Amino acid sequence: MAQVKEQVVTLQSGDSRIGVPCAVCSSPLAAGEEAVFCPRCKSGHHLRCWIQQGGCGRRGCRQVASRELLPEKVEAPIRPSKIPPRAIAAVVAAILFIGGWLVWNARNAAIIRANTMTVMVPSLEDDLLWRQLVDEYNEDPPTGKRLELIYTPYGPTGIDYEQKLLVLLAARDGPEVVVLEPDLFSVYLQQEFLTPVDEVVAALVEQGVPLDAARLAEARREGAHYGIPHPERHAFLVTPVVTRHTGEGPELLRVIAQRLYELTVPEALRAAPAPEAEAAP
């Protein structure tokens, strides 16, 4: 049904519609007022009420006001930014700089990671001794990769050390060489987390490194050695199955173990005959 346009009238004295209540405000229409009578339901309205309502105020009536009666919609002017253009340019430049730095930092970290091997030792160890060993190694790295020392707090019962190691292994970023206490060594050995190091044992024996026979036997399982006895205390040097650089752990273990014995074992004892490593069946 086509929309019927309303008419605006000025009520004259004597108009029978004077006194009709407005359908919006309920006040009676008075002489001299501009009024609108709905073309659908004939309900009376003050003109201002009709415009304010947007059409008929009677419930159920769908008559709407003509567009020309409604006030024009005034768009709020776009206000210029109070921020100086130089400040905006500075913020943009800062964002670009930070983004570029993050990209560069990520690439640089990847390059360093690709050219670095790691050795992880607990805080039970002499950090000065290990730093000396690492510094000597880095003077002329045999493989071209530098060595990084991960000196880690041991924590109550070794929990802090084990958690750090597990995180690295889970990220497939395990150290090439790790120092393990006997209990943790047994756990990792049972879970097959360790690499056999028979060739390392044989090379150390050939070089005259005095490996403790009893603890060397403790590091054997099913005919293979999985660790090198620590020269100063009951612990083992091992290489995990999962490391940052797959396959390079055993050779680094040989170099580190040999130098560690040279730094800690008296020369007279090093000259003594070393125990022969049992051949794997």
Mean pLDDT highest for which of 62-76, 88-102, 240-254, 258-272?
240-254
Domain ranges of the chain: 1-72, 114-270
- What is the bridge-based pairing of β-strands 116-122 and 44-46? unpaired
Share of the chain above pLDDT 70, in %: 81
User: Which residues pair with residue 6 across a beta bridge?
Assistant: none
What is the distance between the alpha carbons of residues 60 and 57, in angstroms, rounded to a whole number? 9
What pTM was estimated for this model as a whole? Answer: 0.59
10 Å CB burial of residue 211 (0-12, 13-18, 19+) is buried
Tokens of 83: 């921020």
pLDDT at residue 73, as a whole number: 59
Query: Does the structure show a pLDDT above 80 at 188?
Result: yes
Residues 89-100 have a mean pLDDT of: 70
Residues 13-44 have pLDDT tens digits of 888 888 899 999 999 988 889 999 998 888 98
pLDDT at residue 86, as a whole number: 72
Residues 117-160 have pLDDT tens digits of 999 999 989 999 999 999 999 999 888 899 999 999 988 888 89
Q: Which CATH number fits domain 114-270: 3.10.450.50, 3.30.70.3290, 3.40.30.10, 3.40.190.10?
A: 3.40.190.10
Query: Which CATH number applies to 1-72?
Result: 3.30.40
| Average model confidence (pLDDT) across the chain | 85
pLDDT at residue 280, as a whole number: 44
pLDDT at residue 275, as a whole number: 52
